[in-house]
Every structure is written in structure tokens, then in C-alpha cells.
Amino acid sequence: MNDQLQALVALQDLDLLIREAKDPERATQEEELGFPLGGVDKLERTRERLAKQIDDRLLQLYERMSRRYDRVVVRVEGSVCLGCFMGLPTAATRRVSDSRRVENCENCGRILYRI
């Protein structure tokens, strides 16, 4: 996985954590269990720093798709996109394996990775 994809994965995970911390119901549940959820602003600063490491075009794509999907960066299993569960053409499946490239699902547009 290339550096840009790694940074996108970190951004996606951080966005989920920030969403949960900002969700009043979720935060209350965690706090009642004994887990304080303060310092979201710290995470938002971390997000800003992380976003600066990502290529502008890729970041814009991620931000745009985040409005549509909970998870924008998804894994490919075999030749199936685990975002929309549609099969990818053979050539696209091969391109996902090339760690130098960032590939999108031809069906749903999500950003793909393979491990």
C-alpha cells in the first residue's frame, strides 16, 4: 500500500472516531461506561495535519465521496469491491495490486486497496 493510501486510511479511521466523539448519544453511552470523550478539538487538529499530507486531488475525491458513503476506502477481496460487492474487471483488479497506483471501483467509485 502506498503512502497516499495509508494516509487516506488513517484519515478515514480518524473521521469515524471524530464522528463518534461528536455524536451526543454515543458519547453519553461511552461516558456512562467510564470512558471520557474530551479533546475532540485535538483530533480535529490532527486531522488537519494529516489531510495536508494527501494529494489535493485525492483528498477532494475522498471528501466528496465521504458525503455519500460511510467508508470511502475499501478493500478488494479476490476481484470484489467490498464497498458495493460488485466484481471488478480483471484489468482493474490487477491495477489495484499495483501499490504505486490509487484505483477506484468502476461501479461505486470508492477508493480501493488490497493487502
Binding site for another protein (CB under 8 A): 1, 6, 9-10, 12-14, 16-17, 21, 26, 29-30, 32-40, 42-43, 46, 70-71, 73, 75, 115
Q: What is the DSSP letter of 70?
A: S
What is the nearest approach in angstroms of another protein to the Cβ of residue 31? 9
Instruction: Please say which residue, 91 or 115, places its beta carbon nearer to another protein.
Output: 115
What is the nearest approach in angstroms of another protein to the Cβ of residue 33? 5
Q: How far is CA 101 from CA 45, 59, 61, 93, in A?
A: 28, 15, 15, 12
CB neighbours of residue 105 within 10 Å:
20
**Segments of the chain assigned E as strands:** 73-77, 80-81, 103-104, 111-113
Instruction: Please say which residue, 14 or 92, places its beta carbon nearer to another protein.
Output: 14
Instruction: Please say which residue, 13 or 55, places its beta carbon nearer to another protein.
Output: 13
What is the nearest approach in angstroms of another protein to the Cβ of residue 68? 13
Instruction: Please say which residue, 16 or 86, places its beta carbon nearer to another protein.
Output: 16
The crossing angle, in degrees rounded to 10, of helices 56-66 and 3-22 is 40
